[in-house]
């Protein structure tokens, strides 16, 4: 391949200026690399820049959901609430960018539209929508797992006379919904967070639900200053624990007792305790016993506990039954976390519409039509999720050695070694890529582990005068086999989830994240390094 008209040269191009991209830039500067970060948005924060829909909030406790890049940062920064809101998370990302003077290396409002590997020069050529070409040795995707928006292909959408928004592209200036009749499609984590807040603003809210989801109360509250002070005193210890646990949280591992080994009273006491007390994370409900993720009968005890909560909260029992998930084991889709979701259906201005029984037929100029009914709407909100994990990577049109496109290589689903690299694409690294724990553990811990691993690998190359790094096909095959083997041991594949790509029509059904636990995964990555990067080849 001949070199296109070169505009600039960097050691590394990082895609995305969310928590992963900012951390990667920080760490690559430490080893003296020149770096250009390409960011589609006009600001930093990634997920927390884009997802500014009403009610957006993280489901991991604030003290855990922070970066370890600098000991002074974690001491200086104060979180106002136990589960941080989008605005505070975006403020945190901005603080990091300013504090460490990162902005000078970030090119905003720019999308990477092509990346091609030049085998003659052992360099990547990166093209942007602004017409820039950048040559670099290392290409690192920090584009996130949930950043490629999924807007369903509803017939007639272009004819809609009102306004419509996808939750992950919510306008920065907000939307005044006072007095409006609003329809929201989607009841995943996003919809479940947005519904209670929207209900308070609008004249009437129609919630179009295709699949009911399990949700637990966040019990978000103002941060207790004494708790925060104490946590900061022991931050190092907390981080040491988080680096070893299966969840990536400073949190005790689940007990070894089965849900089926204890009495009904004891089981319900454990679930009730987790429901009421969410001091660690609302996901505690799934961790009361050892086998909720692996044994259907044990899982059902937990699922039925939540269904009974829904039946108690929602006054109209027909609505309550519709809200009770019955098609998948609890936890096999990302469990949702809410602030008053089920209670919202007791409001007179909220209507649940079952679009499983009465599917959406089309969008019409005045609203939305299901097969049986027409709903007149001023505003349509799509909380319809993402083309998860592979979507952001495939959108970059990456071409590796021998003209192999990533799209072709992953035609039957993503294949990687450790979720970090894929054969045929030298010096392409993925932060929290498919095949790593990523979305199944605390994202900040996962990001930092990957960023540090990639930084060390690059440092290893630079010190050794090495030109390329790429996995061996055999190591990649073994890892893909292992990722599947571990997923098969769980109930995860029983749900039509985005973990499996089931939410995107035509996407291969492959379980993408690594479910074997963050601690185990980290140990494997460390072992690979100790064994002189076993399974990777360098030139
Ligand atoms: P999601 O979990 O994929 O949910 C999308 C929703 O849209 C589902 O209810 C889906 O129904 C519905 N939907 C999609 N296409 C539809 C169609 N054509 N007709 C009718 N309904 C349709 O997406 P999400 O809620 O944005 O959440 C994605 C992930 O982001 C979460 O799992 C979580 O990891 C993360 N997230 C985290 C937080 C947090 O930290 N608190 C908040 C928001 C999101 P079906 O289920 O029937 O497909």
4, pLDDT greater than 60:
no
Task: Please name which of 385, 322, 380, 375 lies closest in space to residue 352, comparing C-alpha atoms.
Answer: 322
User: Of the candidates 382, 405, 425, which is a domain's last residue?
Assistant: 382
Query: How confident is the model over 360-380, as pLDDT tens digits?
Result: 999 999 999 999 999 999 999
Nearest atom in ligand 1 to the alpha carbon of residue 186 is: 7
Residue-level pLDDT at 284: 83
CA–centroid distance, 387 to ligand 1, in Å, is 10
Q: pLDDT for 36-77, tens place per residue?
A: 999 999 999 999 999 999 999 999 999 999 999 999 999 999
| Claim to verify: residue 213 and residue 177 sit in the same structural domain | yes
pLDDT 10s digits, 281-340: 667 888 899 999 999 999 999 999 999 999 999 999 999 999 999 999 999 999 999 999
**140 & 165 share domain:** no
Query: What percent of the chain shows pLDDT beyond 90?
Result: 94
Whether the predicted pLDDT of 96 surpasses 60: yes
As a whole number, mean pLDDT of residues 89-95 equals 98
- 76 with 206, same domain: the answer is no
Q: Tell how far the Cα of 25 is from the centroid of ligand 1, in angstroms.
A: 30
For residue 190, the CA-to-ligand 1 centroid distance in Å is 6
More confident residue, 6 or 243: 243
Q: Are residues 203 and 121 in the same domain?
A: no
Asked if 162 and 123 sit in the same domain, the reply is no
Q: Which of 147, 369, 498, 503 to mutate to test the pocket of ligand 1 (most atoms within 8 A of CB)?
A: 503
Alpha-carbon torsion (62, 65, 67, 68), positive or negative: positive
Helix (H) or strand (E) holding 428: strand 428-430
Does residue 449 lie within any of the structural domains? yes
Count CB-CB contacts under 10 A for residue 114: 15
Query: Which domain, by its residues, includes 133?
Result: 7-148+388-538
pTM here is 0.96
pLDDT in tens, 483-505: 999 999 999 999 999 999 999 99
Task: Please report the pLDDT score of residue 2 as a whole number.
Answer: 39
Sequential DSSP letters for 100-144: TT-GGGEE-S--EEEEEEETTTTEEEEEETTS-EEEEEEEEE---
Based on the domain organization, do 333 and 434 belong to the same domain?
no
In this structure, the answer to whether residues 279 and 299 fall within a common structural domain is: yes
State the Rg of the chain over Cα: 23
Last residue of a domain, one of 363, 382, 401: 382
Rounded CA separation 141/14 (Å): 6
- Across the chain, mean pLDDT equals 96
pLDDT for residue 6 is more than 80 = no
Residue 412 located in a structural domain? yes
- 2 assigned to some structural domain: no
Query: Probe ligand 1: pick from 57, 188, 446, 504, max atoms within 8 Å of CB?
Result: 188
- What is the model's pLDDT at position 5? 52
- Decide if 1 is inside a domain: no
Q: What is the pLDDT of residue 219?
A: 87
| CATH number for 105 | 3.50.50.60
- Tell me, yes or no, whether 377 and 408 share the same domain: no
The residue nearest atom 18 of ligand 1, judged by CA position, is 152
Say if residue 205's pLDDT is above 60: yes
Domain boundary (356, 382, 408) is at 382
237 shares a domain with 144: no
Residue 168 lies in a domain: yes
One domain, residues 81 and 208 = no
Is 410 found in the same domain as 351? no
Q: How many domains does the chain have?
A: 2
| Shared-domain flag, residues 122 and 225 | no
């Amino acid at each position: 391949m001949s070199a296109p008209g070169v505009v600039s040269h960097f050691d590394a191009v990082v895609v995305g200026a969310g928590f992963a991209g900012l951390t990667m830039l920080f760490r690559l500067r430490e080893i003296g690399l020149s770096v250009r970060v390409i960011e589609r948005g006009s600001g930093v924060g990634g997920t927390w820049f884009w997802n500014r829909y009403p009610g957006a909030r993280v489901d991991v406790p604030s003290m855990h959901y922070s970066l370890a890049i600098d000991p002074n940062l974690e001491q200086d920064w104060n979180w106002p609430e136990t589960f941080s809101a989008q605005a505070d998370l975006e403020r945190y990302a901005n603080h990091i960018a300013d504090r460490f003077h990162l902005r000078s290396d970030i090119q905003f409002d720019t999308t990477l539209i092509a990346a091609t590997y030049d085998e003659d020069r052992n360099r990547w050529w990166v093209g942007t929508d602004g017409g820039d070409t950048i040559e670099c040795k290392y290409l690192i995707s920090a584009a996130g797992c949930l950043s490629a928006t999924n807007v369903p292909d509803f017939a007639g959408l272009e004819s809609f006379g009102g306004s419509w928004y996808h939750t992950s592209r919510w306008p920065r200036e907000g939307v005044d919904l006072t007095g409006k009749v609003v329809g929201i499609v989607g009841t995943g984590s996003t919809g479940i967070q947005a519904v209670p807040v929207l209900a308070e603003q609008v004249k009437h809210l129609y919630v179009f639900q295709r699949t009911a989801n399990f949700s637990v109360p966040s019990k978000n509250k103002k941060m207790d200053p004494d708790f925060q002070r104490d946590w900061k005193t022991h931050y190092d210890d907390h981080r040491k624990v988080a680096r070893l646990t299966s969840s990536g949280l400073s949190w005790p591992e689940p007990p070894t007792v089965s849900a089926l080994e204890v009495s009904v009273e004891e089981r319900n006491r454990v679930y009730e305790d987790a429901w009421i007390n969410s001091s660690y994370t609302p996901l505690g409900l799934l961790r009361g016993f050892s086998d909720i993720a692996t044994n259907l009968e044990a899982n059902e005890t937990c699922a039925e506990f939540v269904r009974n909560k829904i039946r108690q909260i929602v006054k109209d029992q027909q609505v309550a039954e519709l809200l009770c998930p019955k098609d998948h084991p609890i936890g096999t889709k990302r469990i949702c976390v809410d602030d008053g979701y089920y209670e919202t259906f007791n409001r007179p201005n909220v209507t649940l519409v079952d679009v499983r029984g009465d599917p959406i037929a089309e969008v019409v100029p005045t609203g939305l039509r299901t097969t049986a009914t027409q709903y007149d709407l001023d505003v349509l909100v799509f909380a319809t999720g993402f083309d998860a994990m592979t979507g952001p990577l495939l959108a970059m049109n990456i071409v590796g050695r021998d003209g192999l496109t990533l799209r072709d290589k992953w035609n039957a689903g993503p294949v990687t070694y450790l979720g970090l690299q894929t054969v045929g694409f030298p010096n392409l690294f993925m932060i929290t890529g498919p095949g790593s724990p990523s979305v199944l553990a605390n994202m900040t811990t996962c990001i930092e582990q990957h960023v540090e691993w990639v930084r060390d690998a690059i440092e290893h190359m630079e010190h050794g005068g090495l030109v390329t790094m790429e996995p061996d096909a055999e190591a990649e095959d073994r890892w893909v086999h292992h990722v599947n083997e571990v997923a098969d041991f769980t109930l995860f594949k029983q749900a039509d989830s985005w973990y499996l790509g089931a939410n995107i029509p035509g996407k291969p059904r492959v379980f993408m994240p690594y479910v074997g636990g963050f601690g185990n995964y980290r140990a494997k990555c460390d072992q690979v390094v100790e064994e002189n990067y076993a399974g990777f080849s360098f030139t």
